[in-house]
Amino acid sequence: MRPTTRRLLRSRATAASERSASEASGGSGRRGRGAAGEREYIGDRPPTYEPEPTVLPTADPERLGDLVPDTVLDGTRHGALTVRAVSQRGDSGRFRGRPRGDALLTAGFGTGDEGLLLVAVASGSRAAAAGHLAAREVCEWIGGAIGRSRARLVEDMREGRRSALKSGLGRLTARSLGRLRASAAQQGLDPADYTAGLRCLLLPADPRCQVRLFFGVGPGGLFRLRDGSWQDLEPSAPPGATVPGATVPGGGLPAGGLEAGVPPGAGAGGPSAPGGSASEPVTPPFLFRTSLAEPGDRLLLCSGGMAEPMRGERGFRAVLADRWSGAEAPGLADFLADVQLRAKGYADDRTAVVVWE
């Protein structure tokens, strides 16, 4: 059976339940066709912007490597897990010709039961011209750091060493943001503009280890779909909390011996900015959470552009809960269509990663 046929049958079979969700939400769950007749939407009327890309960002012929595609789609099987991931430019960015400010990295380190999957989602400042570059850079740096620390991380996750994991990953996160400040100084940019939020999931391949580890800084969302209901797992940070080890002087290894492959003194990855700005404390709170997976769970890590409709539109949550509750993960094309579900008032970039247990 073709995926489109299977999708149509599934849609018909669940129409009644979706209508019930729409009525219970006071209309916020209504569904219809977009302006181009191709996209579903939630709400009384479709979003104002067109549902497809319109304006490309202006390109510099000397810096074509800075360009990012409108949409990135990825997926993998990792041990017993199935992962689907997409990062897409929002309707507002498409209309205004802004580059996608979200970055997505999926990287597998090690093999067999010693394998570790990192999923990193970063969001650059929408107002900054180079925000998308900062997001990409912080993903690449944290990816390298996690890869070099893979063996110790896998061991700590198996043994449930939560304190060591929190301390070490907090320091790695601080150093990632410190690297951005140093990079901004090297490029003559304002460090306040060349920055990004960062959210990561660590997923061990060992089927005996059911730990799912989230860490990062900045806005976004962490949700779990269990028994047909969404749970918001976003960690709460104490008022005034900051990233552990936020002052990045340019030296020292993370606690617990993480990232042993990085020599002392590597620090933020470059020289300090004039006036010591690369050593200023990081203000965002460090977010950390571990959870134990159960068969049938769906874990969603997302940027702010996806988290906002998840929290603000009951009908949006209901549709995705229905589509992602099946025994099998959707194919890449179907997953992209799911994440593209539209809702008026939500036009930012969307990055979403879902893990099927």
256: phi > 0 → left, psi -120 to 50 → alpha, else beta; which?
left
What is the pLDDT averaged over residues 5-18? 41
Helices (H) and strands (E) in the chain, counts: 9, 14
Alpha carbons 199 and 220: distance in angstroms, whole number: 8
Q: Which residue, 190, 132, 194, 36, is CA-closest to 349?
A: 132
Q: Which residue, 235, 261, 265, is CA-closest to 248?
A: 265
Over residues 140-154, the pLDDT tens digits come to 999 999 999 999 999
Average pLDDT across the chain, whole number = 80
Q: Is the pLDDT of residue 338 over 90?
A: yes
Structure tokens at 130: 């180079």
Alpha carbons 12 and 4: distance in angstroms, whole number: 12
Q: Which residue, 44, 50, 149, 37, is CA-closest to 94?
A: 50
Q: Model confidence at 18, in pLDDT bands (50, 70, 90)?
A: very low
Q: Is the pLDDT of residue 96 over 60?
A: yes
Alpha carbons 285 and 244: distance in angstroms, whole number: 9
What is the pLDDT averaged over residues 160-169? 96
Beta carbons of 259 and 174 less than 8 angstroms apart:
no
Q: Is the pLDDT of residue 4 over 70?
A: no
Q: Which residue matches tokens 């010693």?
A: 114
Percent of the chain with pLDDT over 70: 76
170: buried, middle or exposed (CB in 10 Å: 19+, 13-18, 0-12)?
buried
Beta carbons of 281 and 191 less than 8 angstroms apart:
no
Order of all β-strands in the sheet with 211-217: 102-109, 116-124, 196-204, 211-217, 287-292
Q: Is the pLDDT of residue 40 over 90?
A: no
Least confident residue range of 32-41, 131-140, 307-316: 32-41
Q: Is the pLDDT of residue 242 over 90?
A: no
Please tell me which of 237-246, 257-266, 310-319 the model is most confident about, judged by mean pLDDT: 310-319
Backbone φ and ψ for 213, nearest 5 degrees, come out as -115, 125
Number of other CB atoms surrounding residue 249 within 10 Å:
14
Q: Model confidence at 275, in pLDDT bands (50, 70, 90)?
A: very low
Backbone φ and ψ for 282, nearest 5 degrees, come out as -80, 130
Over residues 212-234, the pLDDT tens digits come to 999 999 999 999 999 999 999 99
Alpha carbons 108 and 120: distance in angstroms, whole number: 12
CA 60 to chain CA mean position, Å: 28
Over residues 56-90, the pLDDT tens digits come to 888 888 888 888 899 999 999 998 899 999 999 98
Q: Model confidence at 50, in pLDDT bands (50, 70, 90)?
A: confident
Q: Which helix (H) or strand (E) holds 76?
A: strand 71-78
With residues binned 3-state (H G I as helix, E B as strand, rest as coil), the percentages for the chain, rounded to 5, are 35, 25, 40
Q: Is the pLDDT of residue 276 over 70?
A: no
The whole-number pLDDT of residue 265 equals 31
Report helix, strand or coil for 314: helix
What is the pLDDT averaged over residues 244-256? 32
Residue 206's contacts (CB-CB under 8 Å, 6 or more residues apart) are 79, 113, 114, 115, 154, 158
Alpha carbons 21 and 147: distance in angstroms, whole number: 43
